Structure 1
């Protein structure tokens, strides 16, 4: 199976990122999170006031710091805003000592596996064997401060991936900072300093990576088999992952010298599925990889499109094969069962693969596989209810009526 990696143009730049250009961290209301006891202390030192993170209010703590540890993680941190990450939307995350922000589960693993990884949802500014028992600190906080959001948006608007989003108005952000961190086993002779920002307006999402000027000195710990990995991973999706081109090699230490924004050591990635309809393009290679709609309802019908640099203008109007599968790999079938037991024929129109959607028979993650000649492209999307939870009884009636309509239509055509 052939996948397409998201590729960003990287250039050398004369400017660099001093610590003053990082978004602020280690502020006046830092609470200490103990990675062993899983308790939060309402100060920057361990005391007798340790309580569950769910008992700590934002008035008590504006920011959190991990206690000295190796391979530790934050708690399952409930954030105050939904973060769209491609076809999924998250309200909880983990900040891991080893340079990874993860959804669903923590990442204690110190030696990075190559992306794409199945069933793992990761944003990794520098996945390596961080050890802060000897030196260094890890901070994280969420913010809705207008001035900080404006500062993050200035960075985002400087990147080509924000093209067509000049009106992007972020409403929430996570700031995670690995400050002067050492490596396993308790080494203090070399340190790294880097930062990750997760920024969203609820529809569009961006990730910003900042690397301090002359601030990346080591690439692996004593027990690691490979060097650090930078990028992101969306549940094994063969389209929506990114790996920095020198990841897992010693050359990853030079990441502070390159950029896709014009400032060395700074990178911006777009990580949502929302369609930008105002953009004017001259070629398919200028488009991000998108599945639209990314959250169809279980009785949706209509068509689904897969857009991006996988396709080009010369393949326009070529016939394609579309296969919809659920998260278990079963072919999605409509009612009656014979209706969608075989692949569905679609077509390429300019930069879009257009596939008629079946009726889905279960909620949750699904895959769309598009086959063009001998090449396969896979995108993920999430099937949901067509209405709010309080109206599920109405949804059930609508689903029953829709299925009866399709059964009747199928029987008529069969005759």
Structure 2
């Protein structure tokens, strides 16, 4: 009998290893259980950061609501300002200054900065859960640091704070279909640099009933970067796209007023680390993208 148990344990460990070389288990639990529906605890992978009821808080099951204002455990820079709190909404976005409850993504310029992996009329009152947490778990910090050093060619960076919000198998208001979306926003900072990861595991619906298509965007208060396909039926293609060579993941540097992604970050990184040259950024914005021109 002991031999049988030993073989089963070995097969279980092999299965976890094959599921993703970067899979980790946080110290909050010594076991991991998965079900066909909502999981109590989920292993990390190349895409989704660990989440679940064993490590996270649950956002209220509400149509257009969310948790109370979130007080951050450390001050974090976003878009050129330091923040000690922000707001999270069930409708798929974070608002940095005000509690915004609108289920409709903005169609014109607004006065507040936000981070929206999937702004639409999400409704988890019937099905789907929304998790969130702040953490300084040492294993997760090391993992996040390693990823960002690869994506942005960072020389000196060690994450000290992480925020993870996960929308798991959520539906839209009035939905009568089996379509569900699972996506995640991860914020990572060392107190000077801040990064956002938008992770898309499943996007089966691009808009709510008779409504506009969802918005995936980062807005600094004056200009925005909108992800490819956003506000169109191609929104669901974000699960197969990437800007960091990890399918379904989009990564951005968001501590300064300029939104950087991997192609434009190298100059900024050199400026911060070596201070051996002067860089001038000229930002040209249109309705859908930020265009960064750099002169040395």
- The TM-score normalised by the length of structure 2 is 0.72
Establish whether residue 216 from structure 1 lines up as the match of residue 203 from structure 2: yes
Distance of 2:257 and 2:119 partners within structure 1: 27
1:191 aligned residue:
180
Deviation at 1:107, TM superposition (A): 2.4
Pairwise CA distance, 1:78: 0.5
Alignment of 1:59-138 (within 5 A): 63-114=56-107, 117-138=109-130
Report the counterpart of residue 233 of structure 1 in structure 2: 219
Q: Tell me the distance in 2 between the aligned counterparts of 1:187 and 1:104.
A: 34
CA separation of 1:187 and 1:172: change in aligned 2, threshold 3 A: farther
Task: Say if 1:169 and 1:201, in contact at 8 Å, map to a contact too.
Answer: yes
Partner of residue 336, structure 1: none
Q: Deviations over 1:83-119 (max 9, x none)?
A: 101211111111110100111212221121247x332
C-alpha distance in structure 1 between counterparts of 2:182 and 2:257, whole Å: 32
For the 8 Å contact 1:287–1:308, the answer to whether it is kept is: no
Contact 1:287–1:309 (8 Å) recurs in 2 = no
Tell me whether 1:245 sits opposite 2:228 in the alignment: yes
1:145 pairs with one of 95, 116, 137: 137
Gaps of 5+ in 2: 1-19, 24-41, 273-277, 285-293
Tell me the residue number matched to 1:24: 50
Alignment check: 8 A CA contact 1:126 1:228 kept? yes
Q: Is the strand fraction higher in 1 or 2?
A: 1
Aligned residues between the structures: 236
**1:98·1:110 contact (CA, 8 Å) conserved in 2?**
yes
**How has the CA–CA distance of structure 1 residues 136 and 169 changed in structure 2, closer, same or farther, with 3 Å as cutoff?**
same
CA RMSD of aligned residues (A): 3.1
Task: Show the counterpart of 1:200.
Answer: 189
Deviations 1:36-58 (A, max 9, x none): xxxxxxxxxxxxxxxxxxxxxxx
Q: Secondary structure at the match of 2:237?
A: helix
CA contact 2:206–2:236 (8 Å) conserved in 1: yes
Q: If the length of structure 1 is used for normalisation, what is the TM-score?
A: 0.52
Q: 1:223 to 1:288 in 2, by over 3 A?
A: farther
**Residue 287 of structure 1: how far off its partner (Å):** 4.3
Q: Residues 204 and 274 of structure 1 are in contact (CA less than 8 Å); yes or no, is this contact kept in structure 2? A: no
> Hey, what's the Cα distance between the residues in 1 that align with 2:218 and 2:190?
20
State the alpha-carbon separation in 2 of the partners of residues 97 and 202 from structure 1.
27
Please list every run of 5 or more consecutive structure 1 residues that lacks an aligned counterpart in the other structure.
1-14, 29-61, 276-282, 293-304, 312-349, 353-415
Structure 1 CA distance for aligned equivalents of residues 178 and 156 of structure 2: 45
Query: Which residue in 2 is equivalent to 1:356?
Result: none
Alpha-carbon deviations, 1:249-296, whole Å to 9, x = none? 000101010111111101110001299xxxxxxx9896469xx9xxxx
CA contact (8 A) 2:228 2:238 kept: no
Distance in structure 2 (CA, Å) of the matches to 1:246 and 1:87 = 27
Between the aligned partners of 2:72 and 2:237, the Cα distance in structure 1 is 33
Partner SS for 1:259 = coil
